[in-house]
Amino acid sequence: MIKGAIFDVDGTLLDSMEIWEDAGIRYLRRIGVMPEEGLSGVLYSMTMSEGAEYVKEHYHLPFSIDEIIQGVLDTVRDFYFYEVLPKSGAKELLSWIKDKNITIAAATASDREHVEAAFGRLGIAGYFGQIFTCREVGSGKRHPLIYEKAAAYLGWKPEEILVFEDAFYALMTAKKAGFRTVGVYDRFSEGEQEEIKKQADVYLADLIKGPEILAEKEEIRL
């Protein structure tokens, strides 16, 4: 019997993965600089500091590395505060789950401030008893600690909790820790979809049909 749910945020509930590919481009446009085509691909494998060094030298920016990094961070913050949208069906799925007296928590790699601002603006904050962040628990999602912390808060065993994830590695971490898993499609993890479909207990191509699909899964009783 499912008694709890843990939701990833970026790419699962929020259509937010684009900011992590476009933050550098958005920052440059924000300061009036036209970015080169393909810049996202160039910056993708770089750390924040390496990326800042690259754009400073490549675009002859008059700012320090720390100022550029802060500018990019401010760009990301503003995206969550004022722009990010929920994925279609997210609010309806959360409402459906809550109506079944299933307690809900969030587990995210994003900053608490960003998530709380987005949830509040979008009217979905009330569905969550608690938000857990990788930074605050001290571990990323290649280790199950964040899911275990959320499960302890919810008060249920892993096998009584559904974990909703769009990233294959995170879904597998939860699955290996004994949680029931729901794979959620996101266009930014297109290449992982076949593996997610194979490994997840439930697969949602979109959240709109989430209640219908979950209700039909006999092996998952909600």
Of residues 164, 171, 111, the one with CA closest to residue 141: 171
Q: Which of 165, 79, 150, 94 is CA-nearest to residue 125?
A: 94
Token pair 């008893």 in the structure block, residue: 129
CB 129 within 8 A of CB 104: yes
Segment (H or E) for 164? strand 161-165
Q: What is the 3-state secondary structure (H, E, C) of 89-129?
A: CHHHHHHHHHHCCCEEEEEECCCHHHHHHHHHHHCCHHHCC
Q: Quick one: CA dihedral 30, 33, 36, 37, positive or negative?
A: positive
Taking only the tens of pLDDT, the chain with its 222 residues reads 899 999 999 999 999 998 988 899 999 999 999 998 888 888 877 888 999 999 999 999 999 999 999 999 999 999 999 999 999 999 999 999 999 999 999 999 999 999 999 999 999 999 999 999 999 999 999 999 999 999 999 999 999 999 999 999 999 999 999 999 999 999 998 899 999 999 999 999 999 999 999 998 866 676
CA–CA separation, 50 and 66 (whole Å): 11
Tokens 């505060």 sit on residue: 81
95, 83 contact by CB (below 8 A): no
